Amino acid sequence: MLPHQIEQIRLAFGLGDALAEAQRITIASQHQLWRLKTTQGYFVIKHFNLQRGTPEQFLWSEQLATTFASHGVPALTALSGSDGPLYQANGITAMVYPWIDGEIVPPSLLQPERVRQIGRLLALMHTSKLPLPPLPQAEPTSSSNPLIGDEWLQLAQKIAEQSSPLAKEFQKRLPDLLAWSKPCGSVQVTSGEKVYSHRDLGWANIIWRDSSHPVLIDWEMAGLVDPGEVVIIAAGWSGMMGDAQEATFIAFLKGYREGGGILRIPARVLLEGWLCDILCNLRLHLHLYLSEQQEMETRENSLHAMLYILKSFPAAMSLLDQWAHLADEIIGTA
């Protein structure tokens, strides 16, 4: 954003007099973030990327966060300006939030009780019977094509022809990719129930004011989801695709159960579906990478992401049965 655009937002939200130029926050985000210091304190301006959603969706997710916040979920909610929380002018779509003093902490550095607390908060969202706003449009359905063995073979050939840094690792994992892909076409991950949720509850979307006061941020992906997401979130928090921490997995699920959450679909089905989604993402990254339709920096990021998946997937598969059993044991299959 340009300085005069930030100035217009400051005036529209009555944020006080600026004490310094707004600073771009350089963290991984789908949207632009700016930190503004004024006579009234510190604020964050989120300039939305309209390729990641519509103004109606952003406004709806803010209404959902506000509703949850009024019923005990520590959600970060936007300030209201002269026309409500959503600012739209001069080609800018944005919201303004109070700055939160705190830190974002990786799960490996969190005590079990803090992990359990997030599990309880997820259960609070899943079990809520609140007067929630209607969705602005129907939820999108998955359009992923089944994983086909021949496609992996074709990709392996193209990778070899381009002398890609992926070639050695991909060839090494090719037999596994062919085997892992076989069951993906038949995995049905749904209990038939839908609940409202944050839908992006990774540890990077939680600011800890202190050891017992988390704040949930970045609600743009919020919406309806199968409550079985708890197992996938717990697996992500626990490094199933990397440095696996079983104690974190157990703590998250125990917190969810303490909050009244119950699993209504076998955990193995949920984890298989998640791992199949990861393979589908790998395939998508590969097609984009080989077509050279990405900028250099994006290609490099894709390369690192693909190498990480290829190296980490065997360990995740080896934990599948054990962690599925733990999940079924802790939060039960109704």
Q: Which residue, 98, 118, 134, sits at the end of a domain?
A: 98
User: Are residue 88 and residue 200 in the same domain, yes or no?
Assistant: no
In the chain, what percentage of residues exceed pLDDT 70? 92
Lowest mean pLDDT among 131-135, 160-164, 201-205, 318-322: 131-135
What angle (nearest 5°) sits at the alpha carbon of residue 96, between those of residues 92 and 100? Answer: 145
Query: Looking at the predicted structure, is the pLDDT value of residue 187 above 70?
Result: no
What angle (nearest 5°) sits at the alpha carbon of residue 53, between those of residues 135 and 270? Answer: 70
Task: Please give the residue range of the domain that contains residue 196.
Answer: 107-142+184-331
Query: Looking at the predicted structure, is the pLDDT value of residue 143 above 60?
Result: no
Assess if residue 157 is contained within a domain.
Answer: no
User: Are residue 85 and residue 209 in the same domain, yes or no?
Assistant: no
User: Are residue 258 and residue 310 in the same domain, yes or no?
Assistant: yes
User: Are residues 69 and 169 in contact, defined by beta-carbon separation less than 8 angstroms?
Assistant: no
Using 50, 70 and 90 to split pLDDT, how confident is the model at 191? low
User: Are residue 135 and residue 188 in the same domain, yes or no?
Assistant: yes
Assess if residue 150 is contained within a domain.
Answer: no
pLDDT in tens, 304-333: 889 999 999 999 999 999 999 999 999 986
Helix axes 296-331, 229-237, angle to 10 degrees: 120
Helix (H) or strand (E) holding 114: helix 112-126
Assess if residue 85 is contained within a domain.
Answer: yes
pTM over 0.85, yes/no: yes
User: Are residues 99 and 41 in contact, defined by beta-carbon separation less than 8 angstroms?
Assistant: yes
User: Are residue 205 and residue 319 in the same domain, yes or no?
Assistant: yes
Assess if residue 321 is contained within a domain.
Answer: yes
CATH number for 304: 1.10.510.10
Q: Which residue, 64, 98, 132, sits at the end of a domain?
A: 98
Q: Which residue, 98, 129, 163, sits at the end of a domain?
A: 98
Residues 6+ apart with CB under 8 A from 175: none
Backbone angles phi, psi at 301, to 5 degrees: -65, -40
User: Are residue 114 and residue 83 in the same domain, yes or no?
Assistant: no
Query: Looking at the predicted structure, is the pLDDT value of residue 215 above 50?
Result: yes
Assess if residue 171 is contained within a domain.
Answer: no
Assess if residue 40 is contained within a domain.
Answer: yes
User: Are residue 88 and residue 111 in the same domain, yes or no?
Assistant: no
Assess if residue 232 is contained within a domain.
Answer: yes
The tally of domains found in the chain comes to: 2
pLDDT in tens, 247-280: 999 999 999 999 999 998 899 999 999 999 899 8
User: Are residue 135 and residue 252 in the same domain, yes or no?
Assistant: yes
CATH number for 17: 3.30.200.20
User: Are residue 224 and residue 117 in the same domain, yes or no?
Assistant: yes
* pLDDT at site 133: 72
User: Are residues 252 and 117 in contact, defined by beta-carbon separation less than 8 angstroms?
Assistant: no
User: Are residue 125 and residue 267 in the same domain, yes or no?
Assistant: yes
Residues 6+ apart with CB under 8 A from 36: 6, 10, 15, 18, 22, 42, 43, 44, 45
Q: What's the half-sphere exposure (Cβ side, CA atoms, 13 Å) at 327?
A: 29
User: Are residue 198 and residue 81 in the same domain, yes or no?
Assistant: no
* pLDDT at site 145: 57
Which of 124, 137, 127 shows the shortest CA–CA distance to 216? Answer: 124
User: Are residue 134 and residue 213 in the same domain, yes or no?
Assistant: yes
Strands 206-210 and 213-216: antiparallel
Mean pLDDT, rounded, of the chain: 90
